[in-house]
Amino acid sequence: MNLYAERTAMLGTESAFKMGGDIARCEERGMSVIRLNLGEPDFSTAEAINEVAVTEIRRGNSHYTDPQGIPALRECIAEQIARTRGIPADPGRVVVTPGAKAIVAYSVLAYVNSGDEVIYPSPCYPIYESWITFVGARPVPLHLRESQGFRFTASELERLITSRTKLIIINSPSNPTGGVLTGDDLSAMARVIGEQAPAQCRILSDEIYEHIIFDGREHRSVSSCPGMAERTVLLSGHSKSYAMTGWRLGYALLPSRDEALLFRQFNINIFSCVPPFIQEAGREAIENTANLTVVAGMVREFQERRDLVVEGLNRIRGIHCVKPEGAFYVFPNIEGVCENLSVIAAHDALPRELRPLTSPAGLFQMFLLYCHGVATMDRRSFGVIGCEGQHFLRLSTAAGIPDLKEGLVRIERAAADRSGFEAFVREGKNLYLGAP
Ligand code: PMP
């Protein structure tokens, strides 16, 4: 008899959370590490938001509350969504969760049977693939191409839709590419979904980076397209927009009250409710329009950093980097570096059991960390299925300008350090995250 249930083998992970141990190991050796791996804003939560939470705790607002979310928060979420997407939204269809991640899990658990098909972008937030495989569904990656600015076309989506398609996940602005879908992209996609997808197929629109968008563009949601609000689970949350990752606060607008009640039931079964003082702070974040100025300042800073990093990366031999239009990541193509340093050949030459634990970009990622002190994420951390032959890194711009500049200097040095890379691989230690 095995200790663990069979299904546990099907659960994926988010490698970003694994990286801490490797960074600590480097620092114990006396290295300074530039952290460009983080998926969270490096800004602090606004003081007015903190103040509300503290006051609420002092007021004794620390008891169980409505498992669906406190009405005051659900009301302002519904109002914000209705206003910004131009769709009807009522608080009875809003569910509040401890972080938006739970909405991904609930959407898969609620709608998808084993054997059903789920279309999702790749590269993507890795939690999509994790839950799809966990429930025994068939993952159908929709590959985002660099040449298209990591957007996809309606006809690419159309080719993947079948009578078994139960859920279509989209994410704009995107983690990890920073790609943003335009209003035209979304309209064309909505037409294809309306014509081709089975009536019971839902869309999960992950809009967690809705506020972090550059060059004066506006966020667009598929739910605004004709016929889509009725079939879209709209996911968003406070983590990125208000620099509140550790508070754990996310939410969804569901197509019907019935579906909201099912999501509420998941809440009841797993954690009962999100702490009420956190929800009050979340209400303050949305309701107090002064916060929009704070958000705008953060976005301006992210845009400045993006410009610096994209320009710097494109000056490095072997690297090509598309300019992202949103989120706080850049996703450079490092194929040239992999060729120059013979990284692909080094990966091919690894012992058979090691090869699936990493990738050429993964080897360069580890070399960059252990020999040059820069923490980044590799392509394979963002959807494993069908990622072979794609040589990319994700760099976060959630770091100050001096760190970003130093990071670029180190990456340039690493990209030309052929003998260093050979020695790293020869030594054979730390070739993948969390290696013993
Ligand atoms: N979706 C995407 C695309 C994300 O990048 C993240 C967080 N990295 C989430 C959802 C989940 O956010 P939260 O921290 O609120 O759970």
* Mean pLDDT, range 359-378, rounded to an integer: 98
- The pLDDT confidence band at residue 116, using thresholds 50, 70 and 90, is very high
Q: Which residues line ligand 1 (CB under 6 A)?
A: 39, 99-101, 125, 171, 175, 206, 208, 237, 239, 245, 250
Q: Per residue in 312-324, pLDDT tens?
A: 999 999 999 999 9
- The pLDDT confidence band at residue 183, using thresholds 50, 70 and 90, is very high
- In this predicted structure, the answer to whether residue 17 has a pLDDT above a threshold of 90 is no
Q: Which atom of ligand 1 is nearest to the CA of 171?
A: 3
Q: Which atom of ligand 1 is nearest to the CA of 39?
A: 8
Q: Which atom of ligand 1 is nearest to the CA of 174?
A: 3
Closest protein CA for atom 5 of ligand 1: 175
Residue of 36, 49, 39 lying closest to 14 (CA atoms) = 39
- Of 19, 131, 175, 210, which is best to mutate to test ligand 1, by the most ligand atoms within 8 angstroms of its C-beta? 175
Residue of 420, 411, 395, 402 lying closest to 315 (CA atoms) = 411
- The pLDDT confidence band at residue 347, using thresholds 50, 70 and 90, is very high
Q: Which atom of ligand 1 is nearest to the CA of 238?
A: 15
* Mean pLDDT, range 31-58, rounded to an integer: 96
The confidence score (pLDDT) of residue 200 equals: 97
Q: Which atom of ligand 1 is nearest to the CA of 239?
A: 15
The confidence score (pLDDT) of residue 49 equals: 97
Closest protein CA for atom 9 of ligand 1: 101
The chain-wide mean pLDDT, for the chain, equals 97
Tell me the CA–centroid distance for residue 176 and ligand 1, in Å: 11
Residue of 117, 126, 103 lying closest to 16 (CA atoms) = 126
The confidence score (pLDDT) of residue 16 equals: 86
d(CA 255, CA 93): 7
Q: Which atom of ligand 1 is nearest to the CA of 101?
A: 16
Tell me the CA–centroid distance for residue 97 and ligand 1, in Å: 12
- In this predicted structure, the answer to whether residue 18 has a pLDDT above a threshold of 90 is no
Tell me the CA–centroid distance for residue 235 and ligand 1, in Å: 9
* Mean pLDDT, range 68-74, rounded to an integer: 98
* Mean pLDDT, range 395-399, rounded to an integer: 96
Tell me the CA–centroid distance for residue 353 and ligand 1, in Å: 32
Record the pTM: 0.97
- In this predicted structure, the answer to whether residue 407 has a pLDDT above a threshold of 90 is yes
* Mean pLDDT, range 405-419, rounded to an integer: 98
Closest protein CA for atom 11 of ligand 1: 101
